[in-house]
Structure 1
Amino acid sequence: MSVLVISPGRNPEAWVRELKNQHPGMNIVVYPEQHDDEEVEYAITWKHPRGIFKNYPNLKVIASMGAGVDHITSDPEIPEDVIITRVVDKQLRVDMCSFVLALVMDNLRNISIHHCSKSWEPKKYKRIQDTHIGIMGLGELGSGVAENLKINGFKVSGWAKSKKEIDGINTYSSEEQDEFLEELDILVCLLPLTKETENILNKDLFDKLPKGAYLINVARGEHLEEQHLLDAVNSGQLSGAALDVFRKEPLPEEHPFWENENIFITPHIASVTDPKHVVPQLVENYERMTEEEELLNVVTQEKGY
């Protein structure tokens, strides 16, 4: 039996090293090195070539290297009987919480604006207690961000497909989107990427926000209609945006986002998976698979999360 590591564009050396440290007897092959397709029962991946998993007749599990699984579930040729798993990591949650808080505070206190303007003219700032932040997506990361912002004194609301219960935070279901949006100063997107959420950050949604609201997208680039954002920022409907994810990464040099002074860009750094933190989960699921036990953090293919 073999474990296949397949991550084009991402150096797998640290992952292989940690897998061997955690499970010395594991037979690991790294795509595209030569291997026996029939021997592979467990695959660990990030952004695999589309359709490749249909070549493995004995594949049982596809494990994402990160919290996101849309790079797997969006492949229409994933075998239906294969189990998909994701990573749930406390450090990813902590990193995301601190990153979003940093973006929020930068927006409130105009730190980047003052730095870039090279001017001594003070700009009026906003206060924490006067700022209402909405979180779209209340999964592991979204709920953590909501709770962290609440602890730091912000008024926080949350929106998800189904209504959630989070202490001290008003939450809304998918049918209550208009009510959720109508009083927000800042909107943070932490939704999973599914057919229902693709392009959800669009003109219709922006028009439901109060004029001058601010957008933070730390989920997926495919959530955002890019031209709709540019139009909303240029018209003043949105005061600006902070974007950490994009449809094409790295963001091309000629992309108009680079030229817009009210759109802040970071290179997908909000929350980066560390192999040392997550490989133990991958190894445990490998052992559970070999013992025919129930796996951890299983994804429902129909839902996409």
Structure 2
Amino acid sequence: MINALFAAHPDRWEKYAPALKDAFDTLGLKVDLRQDHAPDIVDYIVYAPNSTLRDFTPYTRCKAVLNLWAGVEGIVDNVTLTLPLARMVDPGMTRGMVEWVTGHTMRHHLGMDRNITQQNGTWEPHVPPLAADRGVTILGMGQLGMACARALSGLGFPVTGWSRTPKEAEGITCLHGSDGLKQALGTAEILILLLPNTPATENTLNATRLAMLPKGAFVINPGRGPLIDDDALLAALDRGDIAHATLDVFRVEPLPVDHPYWAHPRVTVTPHIASETRVKTASQVIAENIQRGEAGNAFLHVVDRKAGY
């Protein structure tokens, strides 16, 4: 029998317990999943950073910590965690992100907000350019960024992807490094942020880099709140340098009611809904990793502690 500890907020148990059991059964795994296993008998920890579990030293038999979230910034620096840590790469979550990003990219590209607010009896035709004439840049070419890049490229947008390390993707201009970042921003009529949250990525979009964007660019951030210097973005919006910002993630969540983003006419706030872990598909990922661990194979999606993701 494999002992798995479910270490997430208690309100997730009712949703995840049956889905995980189904995923284990499908793979023929005999797993005793509980919220209260004694630490010395735990083989795997199914974890979410909103758990109260912070000290991993008693889990002497444990083989891996399997995160239910894509983000690991809340746990990656925990000095008691010396076990392999796997982040969540969930096909359902990826699909959700692609749909959200594609929807808001098309919204800004087609000028849908203008059409919605123009219901005043005034006939003012506004014909957008074709997708082929609108440059889209994605900062962050991991699993989510690559999937979004391919979807937007398939719609005809010329897509540039920037990442910390070199990447390759057919039909997509892939850049890296500081010079590559300048080039990627320079063509970004629509800029999409999908970088992880690390000390190296904080304030990636600051005043200097906002000034590199074409005038009237759109900013879409479903990645992480700290990627943006909020004051710099608000100033660029006020000047009209940035036409609109659609933001799904913030430094403080829920976004405080008095935050300037709420009332700004050129900002759309969505409440961290761009992509949520899907219970069924995430459970299948957890089960697959446990199966791999039991077979002595390498775990999927292991976090690079130095990189922070």
1:167 corresponds to 2:170 = yes
1:101 corresponds to 2:106 = no
Matched with 1:264 is 268
Relative distance call for 1:12 and 1:248 in structure 2 (3 A) is farther
Of 57-66 and 168-177, the range deviating more from structure 2: 57-66
1:230 corresponds to 2:231 = no
C-alpha separation in 2, matches of 1:262 and 1:132? 20
RMSD: 2.2
Q: Could you say what secondary structure the match of 2:93 adopts?
A: helix
Consecutive aligned runs of 4 or more in structure 1 exceeding 4 Å deviation: none
Equivalent pairs counted in the alignment come to: 300
Of 45-54 and 91-100, the range deviating more from structure 2: 45-54
Matched with 2:250 is 246
Matched with 2:143 is 140
Uncovered stretches (5+) of structure 1, i.e. residues with no partner: none
Verify the 8 A CA contact 2:84 2:303 in the aligned structure 1: yes
The structural deviation recorded for 1:137 is: 0.7
Q: Percent identity of the aligned residues?
A: 30
The structural deviation recorded for 1:50 is: 7.4
Relative distance call for 1:23 and 1:158 in structure 2 (3 A) is closer
Give the letter aligned to residue 193 of structure 1: N
Matched with 2:183 is 179
The structural deviation recorded for 1:240 is: 1.4
C-alpha separation in 2, matches of 1:140 and 1:22? 23
Relative distance call for 1:9 and 1:132 in structure 2 (3 A) is farther
The structural deviation recorded for 1:35 is: 4.3
C-alpha separation in 1, matches of 2:127 and 2:261? 24
C-alpha separation in 2, matches of 1:109 and 1:144? 22
Matched with 1:302 is 306
Matched with 2:69 is 66
C-alpha separation in 2, matches of 1:50 and 1:263? 35
Relative distance call for 1:93 and 1:54 in structure 2 (3 A) is closer
The structural deviation recorded for 1:278 is: 2.0
Matched with 2:84 is 83
C-alpha separation in 2, matches of 1:124 and 1:212? 16
C-alpha separation in 1, matches of 2:172 and 2:292? 37
Give the letter aligned to residue 74 of structure 2: H
Q: How does 1:107-126 map to 2 (within 5 A)?
A: 107-116=108-117, 118-121=119-122, 122=124, 124-126=126-128
1:12 corresponds to 2:17 = no
C-alpha separation in 2, matches of 1:50 and 1:174? 38
Give the letter aligned to residue 203 of structure 1: A
Once the two structures are superposed, what CA deviation does each residue of 1:199-223 show, in whole Å capped at 9, x if it has no partner? 2121121111122211100111121
Uncovered stretches (5+) of structure 2, i.e. residues with no partner: none
Q: Could you say what secondary structure the match of 1:285 adopts?
A: helix
Verify the 8 A CA contact 1:199 1:223 in the aligned structure 2: yes
Matched with 2:204 is 200
Of 268-277 and 145-154, the range deviating more from structure 2: 268-277
- TM (norm. structure 2) is 0.89
Q: Which has the higher contact order (CA 8 A, sep 6+)?
A: 2
C-alpha separation in 1, matches of 2:85 and 2:37? 22
The structural deviation recorded for 1:288 is: 2.7
Matched with 2:39 is 37
C-alpha separation in 2, matches of 1:215 and 1:282? 34
Give the letter aligned to residue 17 of structure 2: V
Give the letter aligned to residue 16 of structure 2: W
Matched with 1:27 is 32
C-alpha separation in 1, matches of 2:13 and 2:86? 19
Q: Could you say what secondary structure the match of 2:252 adopts?
A: coil
Q: Could you say what secondary structure the match of 1:158 adopts?
A: strand
Matched with 1:152 is 155
Verify the 8 A CA contact 2:92 2:282 in the aligned structure 1: no
C-alpha separation in 1, matches of 2:80 and 2:227? 22
Matched with 1:211 is 215
Of 63-72 and 97-106, the range deviating more from structure 2: 63-72
Q: Could you say what secondary structure the match of 1:94 adopts?
A: helix
Q: Could you say what secondary structure the match of 2:56 adopts?
A: helix
Verify the 8 A CA contact 1:110 1:123 in the aligned structure 2: no
- TM (norm. structure 1) is 0.90
The structural deviation recorded for 1:55 is: 4.5
Q: Could you say what secondary structure the match of 2:255 adopts?
A: coil
Q: Could you say what secondary structure the match of 1:264 adopts?
A: strand
